[in-house]
């Protein structure tokens, strides 16, 4: 079984709808991240969490919110989806005992906002 899972894998939604992307991990890592990837723009960090009580904004947090329900679960919500939020979304984890930049990624959620 995969260490980092994301659901759904694909999602089509309409402008103005609220949607949630979920991430679960079995690696036992405290640190979790949400990124989006757009063609030609590489990865951009949306939010990150270093433990259940610690949530931090990344470089592009506007229009997004997160919830860290447990050590193993980190959800990303789009409060009111807009077309420019169409992207590939990745969740990642890292080990507090290791280098922060050694991150383990999920398979991604492909989101299309119409």
Partner 1 sequence: DAKTTQPTSMDCAEGRAANLPCNHSTISGNEYVYWYRQIHSQGPQYIIHGLKNNETNEMASLIITEDRKSSTLILPHATLRDTAVYYCIVLFAGGTSYGKLTFGQGTILTVHP
Cα four-point dihedral sign 65, 70, 71, 72 = negative
Burial of 1 per CB tally in 10 Å (0-12, 13-18, 19+): exposed
In angstroms, give the least distance from the CB of 16 to partner 1: 27
Q: Which is nearer to partner 1, 8 or 107 (CB)?
A: 107
Q: Does 25 bind partner 1 (CB under 8 A)?
A: no
Would you tell me which residues interact with partner 1 (CB under 8 A)?
Answer: 4, 31, 33, 35, 42-43, 45, 48, 50, 58-59, 88, 90, 92, 94, 99-108, 110
């Amino acid at each position: 079984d995969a260490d980092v899972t994301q659901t759904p894998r694909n999602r089509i939604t309409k402008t103005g709808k609220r949607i949630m992307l979920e991430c679960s991990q079995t690696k036992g890592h405290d640190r979790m991240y949400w990124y989006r990837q757009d063609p030609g723009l590489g990865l951009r960090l949306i939010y990150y969490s270093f433990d259940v009580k610690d949530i931090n904004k990344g470089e592009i947090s506007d229009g997004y919110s997160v919830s860290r329900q447990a050590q193993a679960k980190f959800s990303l919500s789009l409060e009111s989806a807009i077309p420019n939020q169409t992207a590939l979304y990745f969740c990642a984890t890292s080990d507090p005992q290791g280098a922060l930049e050694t991150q383990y990624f999920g398979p991604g959620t492909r989101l299309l906002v119409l």
